A and B are shown apart, each in its own frame.
Chain A
Amino acid sequence: MAELVKLFVNGQEVEVESGKNLIDALRVVGIEIPHFCYHPALGADGNCRMCLVGIEDGRPPLVPACKTPVQEGMKVLLDAEHIKKIQRDVLEFELINHPVDCPVCDQAGECALQDYYMNYSLDDSRMQVAQVTKGKRMDFGCGVVHDQERCVLCGRCVRFTRQITKTGELGIVNRTDAARVSIFPGKPLNNRYALNIVDICPVGAMTSSDFRFRQRVWFLKKDPGICHGCSKGCAIYIDHHREKYKDDVIYRYRARTNLNVNGYFICDDGRLSYAGENENRQTSALADGAVIGFDEGIELVRERLDRARKPLMLISPDCSLEQMWAVQRIATLYGAELSGYSDNYIIDGDGDEYLINDDKAANRRGLELLEIDFSRAQFLTGLQHTDLLVNFNNDLFFGGVDEELKSLLDKTQSIAVCSHQLQVYESASIVLPTASYSEYGGTIINEDNVLQRFEKALFKNEDPKDVLEITRLLGGAINDAPHAWPGIKQSVACLADIDPQAIPAEGIKLQNSEDTNVGA
């Protein structure tokens, strides 16, 4: 915890953390200073002049809040007439050539320019001359669509490509009202984080071609979630909406700030992985290809499991800790061998130093902590000797079809509990549909040992049962996620002191996991 300093805002005393600038420090105590160009990840640029505030201690009459660190006893003026006039004037300046096409702008509803205009200005335009027209609907590559007219030239996007991705595809060219953000001729955006530009753009100048015009943002329900795209476990917002007469579907993921894990950004692959939650889903139970009722399917699975001599259970490394625990319990119940084999989730060389990992499994640390074997040798021996394989949503062909496994799978009788229709489940004689990660809550541990909790975000019309619920229906004793925790705490030493209800939004960094890390 950083040191606290006392300062005065509009004469009122507030206590804030030292070492931060005024915008960040005062935001924590609920005081908003309007700004366009400042972003905590990109640093203070001081070009927009929107955050000018007064300091009553003999400094120049106005200072940019983004470049002013908090000091003990500082007297900050926010609501003086001359400050309000500055804010109105800056907004009027930004709006000179702004097309005000909010009705067709995707940013409307979450636009800084719109919000600030409503909060600080509300003035009519005094311009008599025609507006400067610039490029619209410009394809910048990587799914980023740029509208130069809406741009306020804060330079966040330019700084993002220079400081964060270090690719520098963007620049501001020309001066005065001919200034515009542009790519270099023939060199579009080419990095795996480009869509973050859409998030950080304070106005509607950068839109995503994927989300463009698909929904107005005020209809979207924004629930926090965890990306299951790789073992980084980036914090995201799941923006979803149920249209009339339709089902609850996800429209987009956005980065959620979590300084323990991903900071302020997420990768494009993760951002676009929302589509996988909507499409290609397994929705009905199948027995030998024919649709059957879900309860009937459960009965069939129970029967087969009771009859099996040497069942083998396979669990997905994407499952939550609670689900893994529940499957582990039910494997003991049926005397089944349990494997977490998932080498195919590792795509060598795909990762980078930043947010993308080679390992596309969201909770491999969970497998390790619960001591679930995920070695290929164990799984292959198990598969050769088993008479019934129960696959809990593990896509064995994730990184491509494994011929050796495929021939073995074709020979084995198998049951698939799966969320998606995938090739690997085609050989299964019974298929049960299950929930995917946006449709259940739980906890996962990322590769850096950060334990994060996420809640159920989507409520489908026909809400699929998650793996944990299916184990309960198969005779398991664990009713829901909280019921799994007493057992997990007992068997995993480093989780013994965790209260699953009190995991903060930024997660908990597990300390002594190295000692208990036996499975690896």
Chain B
Amino acid sequence: MSIKVRTVERKGRTFLEQLYLVEVIKGMTVTLGHFFRNLLDNSRLYVRHYPEVKPEITARWRGRHRLTRHEDGSVKCVACFMCQTNCPSNCIMIEAGERFDGKSEKMPTRFDIDLLECIYCGYCVEACPMDAIRMDTGIYSVTSYSRESMVLGLEDLLETPGAFAEEEYKKGGG
């Protein structure tokens, strides 16, 4: 089998093209054409009006974490450290303490997730034996002005509600 050789035509060598000006005008025609078309009717825009229009997130999306509660409002987490053990980026820091509400013997007294270090892999959710940590808040944009505020504590994680219905989350493989 012989090698096919195709000679590519080199462009930009003619006099008009060497002038540039004509080519610039041709390019600007395309740009301005789009500009005026979108200016007169923006319903056919190719982009999303991001801050105003949010994208639809499915229940399987791994967003920011939250800690869940039992129906009676008590913390589900028993501070078993499985998420911390499984975390590949080592961003979870837990301290455990005694628990006296009858649900378990142990609960977290401190539960910090450093969102700057988190790689959103979801291994913590998979490791959790209590379904206590989930990434179903639907929060996909995690921004802040300071490093310190990117470390979420126990209270921050507990107060964020889930963004999806229970069946939908379960269907998503949660």
- Which single member of A102, A104, A219, A243 contacts B105 (CB below 8 Å)? A104
State whether A104 touches B93 (Cβ < 8 A). Answer: no
User: Is A136 part of the binding interface, using a Cβ–Cβ cutoff of 8 Å?
Assistant: yes
Closest A residue by C-beta to B80: A103
The proximity string for A residues 204-242 relative to B, scoring 1 for CB distances below 8 Å and 0 otherwise, is 000000001110101100000000000000000000000
B85 near A213 with CB under 8 A, answer: no
Residue of B nearest to A216 (CB): B81
Q: Tell me whether A376 is interfacial, beta carbon within 8 Å.
A: no
Given contacts A213-B106, A214-B96, A243-B93, contact A103 B78 (CB under 8 A): yes
B104 at the interface (CB under 8 A from A): yes
Does A166 belong to the interface (CB within 8 Å)?
no
Cβ contact within 8 Å between A136 and B105: yes
Is A244 among interface residues, defined by CB-CB distance under 8 A?
A: yes
Majority secondary structure of chain A interface residues (helix, strand, loop or mixed): loop
A447 to B23, CA, bound (A): 96
A243 to B110 CA separation, bound complex (whole angstroms): 14
Q: For the complex, count residues of B whose C-beta is within 8 A of A.
A: 16
Cβ of A456 < 8 Å from any Cβ of B?
A: no
Between-chain CB contacts (< 8 Å), 17 pairs: A101-B104, A101-B105, A102-B80, A104-B104, A212-B98, A213-B96, A213-B97, A213-B106, A214-B96, A216-B81, A216-B85, A218-B85, A219-B81, A219-B85, A243-B93, A244-B90, A244-B93
Question: Which residues B8-59 have CB closer than 8 A to chain A?
Answer: none
CA distance A395 to B40 in the complex (A): 88
B121 within 8 A of A: no
Minimum Cβ distance to chain A for residue B127 (Å): 10
Q: Is the CB of A103 within 8 A of B98?
A: no
With A101-B105, A219-B81, A244-B93 already in contact, 14 other A-B pairs whose C-beta atoms are closer than 8 Å: A103-B78, A103-B129, A104-B78, A104-B79, A104-B80, A104-B105, A104-B106, A137-B105, A212-B98, A213-B96, A219-B85, A243-B93, A244-B90, A245-B93
Give the CA-CA distance A125 to B85 in the complex, in Å: 27
Residues of chain B within 8 A of A212, CB atoms compared: 98
Among residues of A, the one whose C-beta sits closest to the C-beta of B112 is A244
Residues of B close to A214: CB separation below 8 A: 96
A214's closest neighbor in chain B, by CB? B96
**Do the beta carbons of A103 and B82 come within 8 Å of each other?**
yes
| Residue of B78, B79, B98, B106 with most partner-chain A CB within 10 A | B106
For residue B78, which residues in chain A have a CB less than 8 angstroms away from its CB?
Answer: 103-104
Taking Cβ atoms with an 8 Å cutoff, the residues of B that contact A are 78-82, 85, 90, 93, 96-98, 104-106, 129-130
Q: Chain B residues near A216: list those with CB within 8 A.
A: 80-81, 85
When each residue 135-158 of chain A gets 1 if its CB lies under 8 Å from chain B and 0 otherwise, what string results?
011000000000000000000000
Question: A108: nearest residue on chain B (CB-CB)?
Answer: B80
Distance, CA A214 to CA B110, complexed state (A): 12
CA distance A216 to B85 in the complex (A): 9
User: In the bound complex, what is the Cα–Cα distance between A102 and B129 (angstroms)?
Assistant: 10
Complex contacts, A137 vs chain B, CB 8 Å: 105
A167 to B26, CA, bound (A): 100
A494 to chain B, nearest CB (A): 49
Question: Within 8 Å CB of B93, what residues of A?
Answer: 243-245
CA distance A214 to B78 in the complex (A): 13
CA distance A166 to B97 in the complex (A): 34
- Specify which chain B residues have a CB less than 8 angstroms from the CB of A243 in the assembled complex: 93
Q: Which residues of A contact B129 (CB under 8 A)?
A: 103
Smallest distance from the beta carbon of B153 to chain A beta carbons, Å? 15
A136–B98 Cα distance when bound, in Å, is 13
Give bound CA distance, A213 to B93, whole Å.
14
User: Which 3 A-B pairs rank lowest in CB-CB distance, beginning with the nearest?
Assistant: A103-B80, A104-B106, A213-B96
- Give the residues in chain A near B90, CB-CB below 8 Å: 244
Least Cβ–Cβ distance between B113 and chain A, in angstroms: 12
CB distance from A101 to the nearest CB of B (A): 8
Hey, which chain A residues are within 8 Å of B80, CB to CB? 102-104, 216
With A and B bound together, what is the CA distance between A244 and B82 in angstroms? 16
Name the distance in Å between B19's Cβ and chain A's nearest Cβ. 63
A245 → chain B closest CB, angstroms? 8
In this complex, what residue of B is CB-closest to A243? B93
Distance of A414 from chain B, by nearest CB (Å)? 41
* Distance to closest chain B CB from A135 (angstroms): 12
A103 near B130 with CB under 8 A, answer yes
- State the Cβ distance, B148 to closest chain A Cβ, in Å: 12
Q: Is the CB of B82 within 8 A of A213?
A: no
Determine whether the beta carbon of A213 is less than 8 Å from that of B130: no
Residues of A within 8 A of B106 (CB): 104, 213
- Distance to closest chain B CB from A337 (angstroms): 50
> Which among A104, A137, A216, A218 has the highest number of chain B CB atoms within 10 Å?
A104
- What's the nearest-Cβ distance from chain A to residue B119, in Å? 15
Whole-angstrom CA separation of A212 from B96 in the bound complex = 9
Cα A244 to Cα B93 in complex, Å, equals: 8
Complex Cα spacing A243 to B129, Å: 23
Chain A 460-482: CB-based contact to B (< 8 A → 1; otherwise 0): 00000000000000000000000
Distance between Cα atoms of A108 and B162 in the complex (Å): 31
Shortest A246–chain B CB gap in Å is 9
Distance between A242 CB and nearest chain B CB, rounded to angstroms: 12
* Pairwise interchain contact A213-B98, C-beta atoms closer than 8 A: yes
Q: How many Å lie between the Cα of A104 and that of B108 in the bound state? A: 11
Neighbouring B residues of A101 by C-beta, 8 Å: 104-105
